[in-house]
Amino acid sequence: MTNRNKKFAFDTMKLLIDFYPDAKCELDANNPFQMLVAVALSAQCTDARVNMTTPALFSKYPNAADLAKADIKDVENLIHSCGFYKNKAKNIVSAGIKVSNDFNGELPHDLNLLMTIPGVGRKTANVIMLEVFDDAQGIAVDTHVKRISKRIGFTNEDTPEKVEQDLLKLFPREFWKKINHVLIFHGRRTCSAKNPKCAECPIKDRCRYNQKTSSKN
């Protein structure tokens, strides 16, 4: 990774950070375990839909101990609108059991231990480390982060793990939390998967995708 590539990436990300000064996690939660559940429910579902669903779920099952004792069918009914509800219900109830039994009801401040919780992969664990503990141990790569990183030219990789490794090499640790928030905001508001608003993009002159599409027109 050359210094020139790092400077390009740094300057590009700084433009996005300045363009989205209020970028933050948009999931609602009242405690760390609720954040874990909300992140789990957000898989292939919008944050807005999750935030419409979780008030009833968290009112009935506000913590790990309560969810550990929940009836799966009841949880399925409560989260039905989030999609993949059977698998998600199984995972979050199992997560409640795991956190209650092995971690005394509290999420562990450890990336690897978080990944021992049912339904928690590296992306979710990274989000929890960021949002709950304010301790960036990596960069959470979701569909927005992956798509935009490839479009800009931060990476040519296809798997979240390899995309993350490229981003970690490009950016200093103090950027890691901002990267996730800003690229998700950019993906939702400007750089959508279909019909991105390239004309409104603050980094259109630096974007590999825009250069390619512009040359075809």
pLDDT tens per residue across span 54-82 = 999 999 999 999 999 999 999 999 999 99
Cα distance between residue 188 and residue 143, in whole Å: 11
- Sequence-separated contacts (24+) of 78-86 with Cβ below 8 Å: 78/53, 79/41, 79/53, 81/49, 81/52, 81/53, 82/41, 82/42, 82/45, 82/49, 82/50, 82/53, 83/44, 83/45, 84/43, 84/44
* Domains of the chain and any CATH numbers: 3-23+141-212 (1.10.1670.10), 32-131 (1.10.340.30)
| pLDDT, position 2 | 61
Percentage of residues in the chain having pLDDT higher than 70: 97
* Cα end-to-end span (Å), the chain: 32
Q: What is the pTM of this model?
A: 0.91
How far is 3 from 9, CA to CA, in rounded Å?
Answer: 10
pLDDT greater than 90 at residue 125: yes
Round to whole Å and give the CA distance between 70 and 16: 42
Residues marked as catalytic: 123, 142
* Residue showing tokens 């409104």: 200
| d(C-alpha 7, C-alpha 74), whole Å | 52
Q: Which of 190, 176, 178 is nearest to 147 (CA)?
A: 190
